[in-house]
Structure 1
């Protein structure tokens, strides 16, 4: 996944506006628009950096959702003059008030890469090596291990979902809050093969696990309220994929039997 650098300068867009965004996200809003370049791809990793006076550095991270769109400029004077800018919706999984201190400061960033952070516009693509090193530091600094899954959705705190959905991995398996409650009950070991990511990969694997929905989609009515304890089970990505190789999906017990039967051949 490519990574891009979004920018915030309090001299151009006030802290009050930023705090409003943070409040909207905390209230459950899935995405907020941020200035970017026209070519910013969907599903791109983004880091948010503070520019201007005072402490500079990274204070937010997330993923772009959808294509960039043109809208009136964020600066009121520019907008009044008829100017526009490109924005992209961002799903922030971490966004802090930088006035309380950025999480990765400019000195650390310059140690990672001498020029990648001098973005002239919001939405600049980061060099792969710089993005990779920043991701590691960011995860260590913010405790983000296992917090982002490529197939997650972020509904609010209400677990009433729509009718059955014809996708290979259903949406109930991508509900972050439901996943957290499932893992809190059943732990982070795979329910099929017992694989535990932290035991193999160390801290970077802490709390990483997929969840599998036990109820067949054919049994889901018009409205359905997912029960994270009784309807979901933690499974590793490999076993999760194997469960969904059949339609309807294999049961946990069926796949466990296959692992016991053929696992000795590995």
Structure 2
């Protein structure tokens, strides 16, 4: 069974659907085949079977999106809740879909860029004015999550590896930890985040969770830990 389609993958398919004039396309269509090849090459899943994100599956997803846009149940196909929600959320925002798809592709390109040679040197430290888009986060929500966990458990241990900043750094590390959004921000519009949507993690594990796009789950990263 193929891995569940991520929201990022669905956005890339929806982008093609909109660029094609909201038409369904055949698996033989060159753009469908190109997108299929792109999806198969992404480092998001471990599945490398012949059926994984192939042209037929990509064309099927296009048909699903068309049905969901028209508020119809896709004939002969099971309901895909993620695709259904995506179509309902963005059917009147084609430019936003194109923007998100471009951002996803740019992020993939940056992540897959080859490393610099070992002997490469670069000048750093110059000051530049940089304007960029930032996903809004509520710091107060994070503080409430940390307070809730400390009150319940008496400590702020990482939910992945168990690291406790206060235990290691003493008073300097008291009340310090990071929060990871279990439902990734950035790929969709504004939404309500609840305390249970946050996980307390250390800085290292937080970075490791985001080494994959979409991020790994807390349970998945915990299972990957190499214990001494």
TM-score by length of 2: 0.37
Q: Relative to total residues, which structure has the larger helix share, 1 or 2?
A: 2
Q: Relative to total residues, which structure has the larger strand share, 1 or 2?
A: 1
TM-score by length of 1: 0.32
